[in-house]
Every structure is written in structure tokens, then in C-alpha cells.
Amino acid sequence: MAKALSPDPSPACGRGEICEPLRDFHLKDPRLELIATARRMAECGINRGTSGNLSVRHGEGFYITPTGMEYTALEADDIPWMPLGGNGESQDRRQPSSEWRFHHDIYATRPEAQAVLHAHSTFAISLACLRSGMPPFHYMIALFGGDTVRCADYATFGTQELSDAALKALQGRSACLLANHGLLVFGKDLKQALDNAVELESLCEQYWRACQLGEPVLLTQEEMTEVLEKFGNYGQQNPLT
């Protein structure tokens, strides 16, 4: 009887057995890793249908999920590449998500961003509809680079105005909420972008639940500074990975 092979954690991606199926994708074609991560968004409960979008930096531009396609139907050639400084039209067979502008502007202005994720997740939207960011009710808020997660001003989806508002809310942060819309995060790679989005949605839910019970006691600036310094000691921005 054939012996089952145990997973071979890849030193190339350093992601352990859970990401073993992604290893070859990661090495061969970033579009396939993008598709696999986009499908994980639904499995992780942060997205439904075609409402979110995801991108990964590649060369002097980025690959991004196309407009109006279910992630389950995507093939590598469905993923358009967009150049930095482009006008939003791709030379590939599909056109990019209508939200390509804030993906583009994050890559253009935040060199540390290697992957960008936008989702319409329930608890993030609930807070964003109050146009409320998150105060330091939990130390994990520091994961995103500061002592709050801001909510960007409202603007119509797909507009430059929305991208400008998002970039402002992201100053010094790797995540923000978009008023009456959803969440936006970036990371050093696709996996971290997804992890950060899942963590942000969890924090939104926890904050919402705490607010049902009373008024959460917030951490002080000193307490948050200590956490931010401790997170910095991991040698990378994200202590989850």
C-alpha cells in the first residue's frame, strides 16, 4: 500500500503545511496565488460573491482581481496586470476591479505594501456605517501600526475621491475602514493581507460586542506605545505570522 507523503513545509515561502498547496503557485505564477487567496476570502467569512477585491504587486505594477467575476471561476489569464501610472485600462483579456484606484495609489505611495485586500465584511461595515473607526479597546489594534484604526470619509466607490480618503486614513497604518462601505488592508504578501483582514474583521466584531455590554475601557497611550514597541521587536510588522 502506498504510504501517504507528509507535507513538506517550504523554506521558500516559510508558510508551513497549511500553505503547502500554495507553494508551487507562489513560485510559479503570482496570479494563481492571487486566485487561491481570493477564494480563501470567502472561506474565512470576510467576503461573499464578487463584492471584494484583491491585488499583489508585480514588477512596476500589480495583478488585481477582475471586475464582475466569481472567484471560483477565475483562471490565471482572467487576472489583469495594471501598470503604475496607468489609466485603469488593462491590455489583458479582463478589466480590473472597479476599485483599482486605491490599490494603485497604495502601491504608488506605500513601498511596504506588497498585497492589498478590500472586503465588504459584516462587522467592519457595521462600524463603517456609523463612520466610526476603532479606538484602542484591545491591544491587537496595534497590529495595524497605531493606536486606532481610522474610518475614511465617505466617497462613491471607484472614485479618486475615495482613494484619496482611504490613503489619508491609512497614514501610518496598514488598515482602515471605508465609511458606509467596508474594510481595506495591505500586507507584505498575500497571506499577511488576508490574515490582517481576518484579524480586523474579528476586532470589529469584538468591539461591537463589547459595546453591547457597556462602554469599553480603552488602553492608554502609554499602554499602546508599549505594545507597538513589542510588536516591533518581532522583526516584522505582523506578530501573527
99 a catalytic residue: yes
- The whole-angstrom separation of Cα 82 and Cα 55 is 10
Are 60 and 84 in contact by the 8 Å Cβ rule? The answer is yes
Which residues are CB-contacts of 65 (< 8 A; sequence separation ≥ 6)? Answer: 34, 38, 52, 53, 54, 55, 71, 74, 79, 96, 97
CA 50 to chain centre: 15
- The whole-angstrom separation of Cα 120 and Cα 112 is 24
* Residue 179 buriedness (CB in 10 A; 0-12 / 13-18 / 19+): buried
For the chain, the first-to-last Cα distance in angstroms comes to: 37
Find the Cα–Cα–Cα–Cα dihedral 133, 135, 137, 143, rounded to 10°. Answer: 80
Q: Which of 85, 33, 82 is nearest to 193 (CA)?
A: 33
- The whole-angstrom separation of Cα 175 and Cα 187 is 9
Are 62 and 68 in contact by the 8 Å Cβ rule? The answer is no
Catalytic residue among 43, 70, 75, 99: 99
The residues annotated as belonging to the active site are: 99
